[in-house]
Amino acid sequence: MKFRKLSIFEYLLYIGIVAVGILLDQLTKWLAVRYLMPPPEDPLYTVPIIKDALHLTYAENTGAAFGMLANNRWVFLIISTVAIAAMIFYLFSGLSEGRLAGIALSMLISGGIGNMIDRVALGYVVDFIDFRLINFAIFNGADSFVCVGAGLLILSLVLEVIREGKEKR
């Protein structure tokens, strides 16, 4: 294992991404609860942004990503806590390879914490982004951060493998 010393800029960048990600996630969920909660007379209430493609629809998710394994709150809290702690250690220990990996980990951490806040405070996660074009599950900002962060982490790993391959030549 090789450790690299993070610059002050990197510390601030990663902490900023985590903080802004959590703030945006919680703000959008608060707005969803305030303005999208369906009235009793219309339980299928939805707000079309692009008709039959993108709607805003309030949903309460008691499962993992996209509603899998519903009603296992404590399992998710334990697994999330361990995963977030491991990512924080990896990010700030200097083990991550480069800034792209650091940004990716920061996004993963912010998404994990954003959904964990809901699970602890509410017992479920508030979802509201309803992408209907491909009949996709309703999701939220934290889920988006996790997916984009995972994609960036994969890209970072691929670029690192390519770089190492070029160095060996």
Q: Is-catalytic flag, 52?
A: no
User: Which of 25, 118, 127, 130 is flagged as catalytic?
Assistant: 127
Q: Is-catalytic flag, 143?
A: yes
Phi-psi region of 135 (alpha: psi -120 to 50; beta: other; left: phi over 0): left
CB proximity list for 15: less than 8 A, separation 6 or greater: 106
| Measured torsion, CA atoms of residues 44, 51, 150, 92, in degrees rounded to the nearest 10 | -80
How far apart are alpha carbons 131 and 126 in whole angstroms? 15
User: Which of 25, 118, 130, 143 is flagged as catalytic?
Assistant: 143
Question: From the DSSP assignment, how many helices (H) and strands (E) are in the chain?
Answer: 4, 3
Catalytic residues: 127, 143
